[in-house]
Amino acid sequence: MAEKNHPRTNGLDTPRTARTRWFPRLSPNPDAFGHATENFARFMGTPQFLLYMTVFCVLWLVWNTWGPEPLRFDSVALGFTLLTLMLSLQASYAAPLLLLAQNRQDDRDRVSMRQDRERAERNLLDTEYLTREIAELRIALREVATRDYVRSEIRGLLEELIEANDARDEGQRRGQQRRRTPDGSASLSKSAGDD
């Protein structure tokens, strides 16, 4: 009979039939819950929270000690049991919430450290690349002629050109003077008289 009501599956290859739920499945957004725990943990660490808790406890104690007898809800004779239970409940929830907030902070720190490490590696690679480029530029600049060297070479070439030009001009003048006079002595005396 049980086999008729609940059909058996053939094996692991056949999925189960979906069960109907009485209540919808709660699946809170972990990021929203983590954000709320961080906000609560951040608020618990403020002087404002300490002031509110102090005022709350003082009012509680004053009301249950000196308030009207029929309206008191926590007994002085029992040592303010309800207040103790409330503070214990708050502490029991505060500790895990603080740990959740700390875990989220640790995750953020881990991601931040990984990004810092990656950035440092990129900076190191960039620095090494720039160092190699600067070294190559220095080597290339050693082979490049300096301004003074180029000037001295140009001066030397200019002097050689001037000397060659002067020698050529001198040779042309002598050749022209020899053509005018057939004997070389007259051309020499003429050229000496011209100077």
Q: Looking at residue 23, what DSSP letter applies?
A: S
Same domain, 109 and 75: yes
Domain assignment of residue 39, yes or no: yes
The band of 188, judged by pLDDT with boundaries at 50, 70 and 90, is: very low
Lowest mean pLDDT among 31-40, 114-123, 155-164, 172-181: 172-181
Count of domains in the chain? 2
Mean of the pLDDT values across residues 14-32?
Answer: 76
Mean of the pLDDT values across residues 118-133?
Answer: 97
Same domain, 138 and 72: yes
pLDDT above 70 coverage of the chain, percent: 85
Q: What pTM value is reported for the model?
A: 0.48
Q: What is the DSSP string of 64-77?
A: HHHS-GGG--S-TT
Would you state the structure tokens that stand for residue 146, as one six-digit string?
């300096």
Domain span holding position 166? 147-181
The domain boundary, picked from 128, 143, 158, lies at 143
Domain assignment of residue 8, yes or no: no
Same domain, 122 and 174: no
In this prediction, residue 118 carries a pLDDT of 97
Same domain, 36 and 132: yes
Mean of the pLDDT values across residues 87-106?
Answer: 91
Nearest one of 40, 19, 15, 37 to 28, comparing CA atoms: 37
Same domain, 110 and 172: no
Name every residue whose Cβ is closer than 8 Å to that of residue 94 and which is 6 or more positions away in sequence: 44
Same domain, 92 and 162: no
Same domain, 128 and 49: yes
Q: Report the interhelical angle of 30-44 vs 47-66 (nearest 10°).
A: 70
Does 121 or 6 have the greater pLDDT score?
A: 121
Mean of the pLDDT values across residues 21-27?
Answer: 77
Rounded CA separation 92/98 (Å) = 11
Q: Is the pLDDT of residue 63 over 90?
A: yes
Lowest mean pLDDT among 6-15, 68-77, 98-107, 121-130: 6-15
In the block, residue with structure tokens 């060659």: 164
Domain assignment of residue 6, yes or no: no
Domain assignment of residue 3, yes or no: no
The domain boundary, picked from 143, 165, 190, lies at 143
Same domain, 43 and 83: yes
The domain boundary, picked from 97, 117, 143, lies at 143
Name every residue whose Cβ is closer than 8 Å to that of residue 102 and which is 6 or more positions away in sequence: 41
178, 184 in Cβ contact below 8 A? yes
Same domain, 171 and 130: no
The band of 114, judged by pLDDT with boundaries at 50, 70 and 90, is: very high
Would you state the structure tokens that stand for residue 7, as one six-digit string?
């059909």
Same domain, 86 and 161: no
Mean of the pLDDT values across residues 74-89?
Answer: 91
Average pLDDT, the chain: 84
Rounded CA separation 161/165 (Å) = 6
pLDDT above 90 coverage of the chain, percent: 41
Domain assignment of residue 158, yes or no: yes
